[in-house]
Amino acid sequence: MEYDYGNWLLVLFNIVLFLYFIKSAFKPRTKTDWTTFRYFGAFIVALFAEMYGFPLTIYLLTSFFGNKLGLDFTHNNGHILNTLFGLKGDPHFNILHIASYALIIGGLVLLGRAWEVLYKAVKQNKLATDSVYKYIRHPQYLAFILIILGFLVQWPTLITLIMAPILIFRYIKLARTEEKEMLKKFGSAYQVYKNEVPGFFPSIKHLLGDVIQKITISKDLKAGEHYEKQSHIVPHSQN
């Protein structure tokens, strides 16, 4: 039987590499930030330990169900959802893997963008309401949730399936705690912001309104440039 696990150097490499990127994007500063980072780090360790080290989930499932699920100890079968849904071909190029990458990369981009805006706001001692904070109040926590969901789609394990809801609940709880702190610090300004901007899920109406506004402004600018060019054209004098 083919056994594609036991690559503990690869486990260590992936853990260090991914947590380095997360730390670079998140840039934890406060005690709460570091706690958030450590909890997420535990999720990453559990994930890659099974992905390349010891396939505990597959071992338990095959011990309980035998060959009924069609699982074995090849790396491709570690993408359990692909096997359970009967998806054929290389699992690294199917719709589930693409969706997982979209969630993970989207989360990383959102995390980096959110920190950039928040850092400037903290430095200027003002409320962060620009960029991604214009659409949601807690983009950093949403970013972590997206990354977690992305990995669950790509490589679900029993341990990470247990950890995921606990982490998500913690992020929501931390968001509520931070909101109380912001209310104390910024008072009515934060209350108005809170009333207008959703916590985790952006308003589709708000997003579409901004997109339409940007398109309209772009068209107006192009029309203005065209008019300006036409006004500088001097007609040739007729002989």
For residue 223, count other CB atoms closer than 10 A to its CB.
10
The token duo for 152 is: 């669950």
Contacting residues for 93 by C-beta, under 8 A, at least 6 apart: none
Q: Show the domain range for 209.
A: 204-231
Residues 213 and 101 occupy one common structural domain: no
Contact yes or no for 108/139 (Cβ under 8 A): no
Report the alpha-carbon distance of residue 235 to residue 237 in Å, rounded.
Answer: 6
236 in any annotated domain = no
For residue 239, pLDDT beyond 50: no
> Exposed/middle/buried for 87, CB within 10 Å: 0-12, 13-18, 19+?
middle
Residues 222 and 181 occupy one common structural domain: no
238 in any annotated domain = no
Task: Express each pLDDT in 122-179 by its tens digit.
Answer: 888 899 998 899 999 999 999 999 999 999 999 999 999 999 999 999 999 999 999 9
DSSP state of 236: P
Residues 150 and 122 occupy one common structural domain: yes
DSSP state of 134: G
Residues 181 and 208 occupy one common structural domain: no
239 in any annotated domain = no
Predicted TM-score of the model (pTM): 0.84
CA distances in angstroms from 201 to 118, 127, 142, 214, 236, listed in the order given: 18, 19, 8, 21, 59
Task: Express each pLDDT in 104-118 by its tens digit.
Answer: 999 999 999 998 898
pLDDT of res. 195: 92
pLDDT of res. 230: 61
The average confidence (pLDDT) of the chain is 87
Residues 115 and 213 occupy one common structural domain: no
The token duo for 148 is: 């977690």
3-state secondary structure of 68: coil
Cα angle 93, 3, 43; round to 5: 65
Residues 227 and 144 occupy one common structural domain: no
Q: What is the mean pLDDT of residues 195-215?
A: 79
Give the number of domains in the chain. 2
For residue 12, count other CB atoms closer than 10 A to its CB.
15
Contact yes or no for 129/123 (Cβ under 8 A): no
| Longest alpha-carbon distance in the chain | 97
Task: Express each pLDDT in 71-107 by its tens digit.
Answer: 888 888 888 998 888 888 888 888 999 999 999 999 9
pLDDT of res. 229: 60
pLDDT of res. 71: 86
Q: What are phi and psi of 73, to 5 degrees?
A: -100, 25
Which CATH number covers residue 155? 1.20.120
Task: Express each pLDDT in 20-36 by its tens digit.
Answer: 999 988 888 888 889 88
| Dihedral sign from CA coordinates of 197, 176, 114, 154 | negative
